[in-house]
Amino acid sequence: MAHQQHSPTNSGFGATSTTNDVLADIDLAGRRFLVTGSSGGLGLETSRALASRGATVVMAARDSTKNSAAAATIESTVHGADLELLTVDLGSLASVRRATRELLDDGRALHGLIANAGIMATPFALTVDGFESQFGVDHLGHFLLVRELLPLLVAGAPSRVVCVSSAGHRMGDIDFDDVNFDRRPYEPFLAYGAAKTANVLHAVALDQMFRDRGVRAFAVHPGVIQTELGRYMTPKVVGTLMARISERSEAMVWKSPEQGAATSVWAATSPLLEGRGGEYCEDVEVSPVVADDAPDGIGVAARAVDLERARQLWALSERLVG
**pLDDT at 224 (0 to 100):** 82
pLDDT tens-digit map of 114-173: 999 999 989 999 999 999 999 999 999 999 999 999 999 999 999 999 999 999 999 999
Residue 78 lies in a domain: yes
Taking the CA atoms of residue 300, residue 238, residue 47 and residue 65 in that order, the dihedral angle to the nearest 10 degrees is: 140
Asked if residue 12 is part of any domain, the answer here is no
Q: What is the pLDDT of residue 261?
A: 97
3-class SS letters over 2-54: CCCCCCCCCCCCCCCCCHHHHHCCCCCCCCEEEEECCCCHHHHHHHHHHHHCC
Give the single-character DSSP code of 132. Answer: B
Backbone phi and psi for residue 300, each to the nearest 5 degrees, phi listed first: -115, 135
Give pLDDT < 70 ranges for the chain: 1-5, 226-253
User: Which structural domain range is residue 283 located in?
Assistant: 19-321
Peptide bond just before 158 cis, omega within 30 deg: yes
Domain-embedded: residue 11: no
- Annotation marks residue 192 as catalytic: yes
Q: What is the CATH number of the domain that holds 209?
A: 3.40.50.720
- 168-188 b/e with 16+ CB inside 10 Å = b? bbbbbbbeeeebbbeeeeeeb
Residue 307 is assigned to a structural domain of this protein:
yes
3-state secondary structure of 84: strand
Question: What's the DSSP call for residue 187?
Answer: -
Catalytic annotation on 280?
no
Distance between CA atoms of residues 290 and 308, nearest Å:
17
CA separation, residue 110 to residues 123, 245, 248, 264 (Å): 35, 37, 38, 16
Instruction: Please check whether residue 232 lies inside any domain of the structure.
Output: yes
Whole-angstrom distance, CA of residue 153 vs CA of residue 120: 28
Alpha-carbon distance of 289 to 307, in angstroms, equals: 13
pLDDT tens by residue, 187-222 = 999 999 999 999 999 999 999 999 999 999 999 999
pLDDT of residue 1: 44
Q: Is 165 a catalytic residue?
A: yes
Q: Which of 92, 95, 159, 165 is catalytic?
A: 165
In a domain, 4, yes or no: no
Cα→Cα distances 83→48, 56, 71, 264, Å: 9, 6, 7, 18
Q: Find the catalytic residue in 166, 196, 264, 280.
A: 196
Q: Is the pTM of this model over 0.85?
A: yes
Domain assignment present for residue 97? The answer is yes
Residues 6+ apart with CB under 8 A from 25: none
Residue 3 lies in a domain: no
Structural domain tally of the chain? 1
